[in-house]
Structure formats: structure tokens, C-alpha cells
Structure 1
Amino acid sequence: MHVSYGVPLAPLTTLGIGGPAASLAELHDPAEFPDFVQEVRHCTAPPVCLGEGSNVLVGDRGCALPVLRIATRGIRVLGAADDGRVLVEVQAGHPLWELVETLIAEGLAGMEMLAGIPGTTGATPVQNVGAYGQEVSDTLRSVEVWDWELGRRVTLDAAECALGHRTSMFKKSRRWTVLTLLFALRRAELSGPVTYRSVADELDVPLGSQVPPAEAAQAVLAVRRRKGMVLDSCENDRRSIGSVFFSPEVGDPMASKLRDLGAPVAHFPDGSTRVTASWLIRQAGFALNTSLTRGVRISSVHYTLVADDGASAAGFREAVDIVLRQVLDRTGVLLAPEIDFIGD
């Protein structure tokens, strides 16, 4: 395991913002994780974990706590579970997009709508990653984690992880570091039902249709590329973290009011009713490519925030606040950031 000191963290994130790590350990071999535990045994707080840096904003002064960059890779198909689903074990550092491609090639359905999402597989339960009708909670069976409070490895069932809409118990605490994940998937020739109009239109099928998983994944990729949500799809907007804000939950009176205005209001698997954050941002009067603070603007293809040269963590936080306040003033709905903030 390689440990470096004073390493700039900005190049390790998709936003390209932030100061250095006091120490950075890169974990490629799972067997070396105990070495890292010994390395940080005298620290007063758990380390900061970093995967591909696709949902994080690093502070301008960097991070004084040890940073662990998890780059472990590996997928193992273990066989069938009691319910007939196929169990697949994945190392936490394995890129999610590679996992989706592998599952499709193996004839396994259940994660095809997650095609094109950046980041590592180990990050997916942290905010219960989801897109276009599928969430990690649909297929996650268990996770093996290091519990920094207990000082040992622990296996947690998915139900113990408190998975909700873009949240989990991991989102609220650094107590646990995800090491491996176990998924249960269907061996099937057809995807799950296509429940999003944009994906159905791309496939030219009615809502609710099922198509080969590879076709569903390609349609999702096409939709994501048009919105600049695939990292290599738009050079001008490549410094992005995707969705900066959660789709906020709204009560029945507000949901009815928003529907009358043409807002995309939908019911989510956790029982909540939510409105799309990007619609709210546009409704609040922001135009594509609008400059917000130095080096931070609205994307040129989608209503989210991106960084340019000159951007800083402080400026990005200020831009988030500008959008939050104007959306609340103009629509009456309060947004909340889903970014993971790292550092001092």
C-alpha cells in the first residue's frame, strides 16, 4: 500500500477543486487494508474515504485527516441464492460502470438503468445510488465493512444499512468503510420495466415495456449524454458532480400546485413524493450557462452546477447557496445539496 503526504486532492475529483491531503493511502490490494488500519490507529477520528471523487467537494485548505483512496477491483459470480437470484460479490473500488457492463454481459438484470453513473461500487450504498427507476437497494444483499468504532470487520444486511432516497446510515457517519458488496440479480433476457418517459422515447417503446438489458443501458447512456451526465460526453461541462441537489420531498398541497405548473412530480420507492431539482432551478429563473460565482456556473446542457478554471470550494459553496435561496424565493421549495463535503 502506497502512502503519500501533501498530495493535491483536486485531480482526484471530477470537480477538480480542493486542497491537499495531509496523507493519502491508495488501496489496490484488499489484503493490505489491515496495514492501513495500523497506519491510522493513533488518529482521533475515522479516515476520509475517497473512490473516484465523483460526488465530493474538497475544501480549499485540503484535509487534515488521513484519506484512503479505495481502488480495489474484482467481481465474483458466486452462484444462486435461495430465491433463485444470482449472487455477485464486488470489491468496493470497482468502477460502477464496469460492473453494470459485466452484469449485462453475464445475462444478469437489475442494474442496467445505472449505466453511465461514475464512481465506485463501494460508494453506491452510501447514498443508495439510483437512476431511471432502479436503486442499489433493489439488488444489494449485504456489505462487508470496517467498523472504526468496534475496530473489526462487520457484515451488514441491506436492511441494516437504512437505505432511503439518496441516503443511508453511511451518508451520515464515517464510522464504517465499505470493503466488499454482495448483490442479488435476476438471470433474465429482459430489463426491468422502463418507467421514465425519456428512456422510453429513446427506445421508441411504451412506458412499462421491458427490453434486453443492453438496449436499456444504451438508451440510458444516450439520455445521460444529452444532459452532460456522462463524464466524457461534454468537454465544456466535464467538471461536474452530476446532481448537486436532491429531488426534494413535497407535501400533497405543494405537489398539486407544482403539477398544475407542469412540474415532473413523482412517487418514489421510499413512499415520498418528490419534484425534480433541475425543473425547480429552471423555474426559479436560471438559464443554462449562467455564471454564479467565479469559475462556477449552470451547465450549458442541464440544470446543474459545473466548475471552470478559477473555481474554488468556497465559490462552489456560495453558488450552491445562491441557487438554494433563489429556488426557495421563487418556488417555495427548499433544495438540499447531496454533495459529500470533505476537508477543513
Structure 2
Amino acid sequence: MPEVTPIPLSRLTTLRTGGLPDRMIDAHTRDELVDALREVWADGDDWLVLGGGSNLFVGDEPYLGTVVRVLTQGIERMPASRPGFARVRVQAGHDWDALVAYAVSEGLAGIEGMSGIPGTVGAAPVQNIGAYGQEIVQTLIEVELIDERTGEVSVVPADELGLGFRTSVLKAHYGSAAERSAVILSVTLELPEVGDGARPVAGAQLRGSLGLEADASVPLAWIRERVLQIRASKGMVLDPDDPDTYSAGSFFQNAIVSQSFALTLPPECPRWPVAPDLDPVLVIPLERFDGYVPAPVVVESHVKVSSAWLIEHSGFRKGFKLPRSRAGLSTKHALALTNRGGATAGELAELARYIRGRVQSEFGLLLHPEPVLVDIEL
């Protein structure tokens, strides 16, 4: 068992918070990861799986359990089930942006808009990561995972993961447990083979973010370079020389609200329609059918609204800090809470609570944190 001397979680998370765990295991191979998890689960220890540490907000106290670091690496290219596509199977500990760089260099499209997102591949489906109109749900085929309840390894199709806006059945949302307690071992994507030449850019949101006309054609490498520039300008690419990158990315999710509630917000608040779920198929057993078919249930459509706009228009400028606090809003992006140097988890939580309260008071909407919270409350 590759047990190592524990390292404070403040050195392993991008928010730079977290105490020293009781125990730490570094899993460099798939088999080491499977063995480590089975042992920890059999012992009944509290446990935390750690990849890049970019979507975690950890409390200040020592972590009373075992941290399993997922350090597995590797990309395997495989034939796809349809012409013009390729499948890639990627180990969970592989760096996400390194995967995007590989795909672009191989002329594989579909994830170039997610360049620069920090973290590991195994965490991507848990969060259903996305940017500029691309989400992993659009290219994900399946994941290999190990289930805590049984200790069994299985391959699970993407459509069984409950992938939605920054969510899945594997994600522990603030205040609730994950629907399924399992750890991803590898991820399989299916990507179009488009080569390295200029091509039309699919997706109005991606084109708009890149400043492209509807008929513009550019190479994948150009898209990746431009996305990295945009993210860097917002402090969303890890840079040890930039305090704005000591964050968990967007600390608050963009809010999904009903269309009727969206109408109560100022008209200048940016908003985007959310594709409605298809009506479920109604099945009436023949022996119970009396000739009457009930009317379909009308479901109100939903709207995604800009939480950054709500924060700024609740009186918070970029770079805002509470008095004597070492935590602050990013100077580049109002959604990011940053550690300006030596901030405790308590200071960051205090700032998050203050922002949530003001936004709720101004607009009647309670913002939800995007990172997973460990041993910390808002």
C-alpha cells in the first residue's frame, strides 16, 4: 500500500485551505487506487479522494480520516463506433488541460472550449464541467468506477450518471450527500476527428465568447489559445504569480431559476434559456385503459442567470475584502473568492456568507456554492 507522510491540504488545494490529514495514500496506478479504496472502506475510516484540489473548500482543522490522492496517468486512443470519430480512455488522475492539449494536437474536437480548466479528468464528470457552451456530457461515453457500497468495479454509461448543470449522481452538493458513493477510475470520451485545419465553430455561445461571426472558420489550436487568453484575463488559469488564481474557480454557481422568477430580476441581468427536459413517455397498461388520456403536465421553463452580475449589483466590486480579512473577491472576476495570502477557511467562509446574504436581501435569490465543502459550513 503506497502510504506516504501526510501533507497539509492547504498545500494541495487551489484555495490554499485545509489541515493535516491523519493518513495519506498516493495511488499511482489503477490497481493501487482500487486496493487503497477497498482497504479504507473496509476499515470504516472517513475518506477523501483528492485529484487536483481545484474544486474543494476544506476547513482549517486537521482532517480526521484518510486522503487518497489519485495520481494515475495515461491516455489510450481507441476506434469509435461511428466513422469520423475517435474514442479516448483517460485515467482519472490525468490533468484535464493536458487531455485538452492532447485532443487539439490530434485534431479531435469537442473539448477545446474547456481549455485551462484546472483539475483532473476523473473529477470532470462528477461536476459535469463546462465552459463557453461545451460540457463534458456532450462527449462522454462511459466511466469506469468503483462503488463504495460493494467495492465492485463496473463500467457505467454516461446516461446513467444523471449529468446536469454542474452536477451528477456522484456529486455531493452543499448540504446533501451524493446519490451514488463511488470513485471514477477512468473516463471514455468520443470526439470528432476534424484535423488541424480551419473549420466552422459550432455553438453560438462559443463563437460569441471568441468574438467570431457565424460563418467564421478557425483551427482547434486557435480556439484553445484564445480560450486560455480569456481565462487568464479572468484569473481562471492557475498562475503561482497571480493571487487571483488561488481560488476554486467560480465559488458560486450561476443560478437556475424559473422563468417567472427571472422576470422579477432587473431586465439588464444577463440570462440564458435552459433546455427543458423532454416530457416523460406516458404508459397506460392496456387492462387499465378506459379511453381517457390525461392532459400533459405543463412544466415551466427555467432560465440561467448571471450570479456574477447579481454579486456586483449587490454592491460588491471586484477585489472586495472584509476589514482585516485575507480573503477577497478576485480583482478580475466577481464569482471567484480568492485567498490573498494566508487566509483561513473561516475567513473565506465569512466572506461567502456575507455575499450570499447581500444577494439574497437584494434579489431574493440564495446563491449555492460550486466547490465541494469538506469540514466547513457556510
After TM superposition, the score normalised by the length of structure 2 is 0.84
Structure 1 segment 97-246 matched on structure 2, within 5 A: 97-172=97-172, 173=178, 175-189=181-195, 190=199, 191-196=201-206, 199-201=209-211, 205-207=212-214, 209-232=216-239, 235-246=242-253
Kindly indicate whether the alpha-carbon contact (under 8 Å) linking 1:132 and 1:195 is maintained by their aligned counterparts in 2: yes
Tell me which structure has the larger Cα radius of gyration: 2
Change (3 A) 1:325 1:125: same
Q: Give the superposition deviation at 1:42.
A: 3.5
Structure 1: any 5+ residue segments left out of the alignment? none
- Aligned-pair identity in percent equals 35
In structure 2, the partner of 1:255 is 262
Deviations 1:78-108 (A, max 9, x none): 1122465211100000001000010011111
Change (3 A) 1:107 1:313: same
CA distance in 2: counterparts of 1:253 and 1:208, whole angstroms = 35
- 3-state DSSP of counterpart to 1:317: helix
Larger mean Cα displacement after TM superposition, 143-152 or 233-242: 233-242
CA distance in 2: counterparts of 1:270 and 1:122, whole angstroms = 28
CA distance in 2: counterparts of 1:208 and 1:332, whole angstroms = 41
Larger mean Cα displacement after TM superposition, 63-72 or 234-243: 234-243
Kindly indicate whether the alpha-carbon contact (under 8 Å) linking 1:196 and 1:207 is maintained by their aligned counterparts in 2: no
Kindly indicate whether the alpha-carbon contact (under 8 Å) linking 1:165 and 1:270 is maintained by their aligned counterparts in 2: no
Q: Give the superposition deviation at 1:16.
A: 0.8
CA distance in 2: counterparts of 1:248 and 1:264, whole angstroms = 11
- Quick one: which amino acid aligns to residue 317 of structure 2? A
Change (3 A) 1:270 1:13: farther
Q: Give the superposition deviation at 1:194.
A: 4.5
1:313 equivalenced with 2:345 (yes/no)? yes
Structure 2: any 5+ residue segments left out of the alignment? 173-177, 278-301
Q: Give the superposition deviation at 1:41.
A: 4.3
In structure 2, the partner of 1:54 is 54
Change (3 A) 1:233 1:7: closer
1:298 equivalenced with 2:329 (yes/no)? yes
Q: Give the superposition deviation at 1:207.
A: 4.7
1:16 equivalenced with 2:16 (yes/no)? yes
- 3-state DSSP of counterpart to 1:228: coil
Kindly indicate whether the alpha-carbon contact (under 8 Å) linking 2:252 and 2:368 is maintained by their aligned counterparts in 1: yes
In structure 1, the partner of 2:73 is 73
CA distance in 2: counterparts of 1:45 and 1:273, whole angstroms = 41
CA distance in 1: counterparts of 2:221 and 2:214, whole angstroms = 17
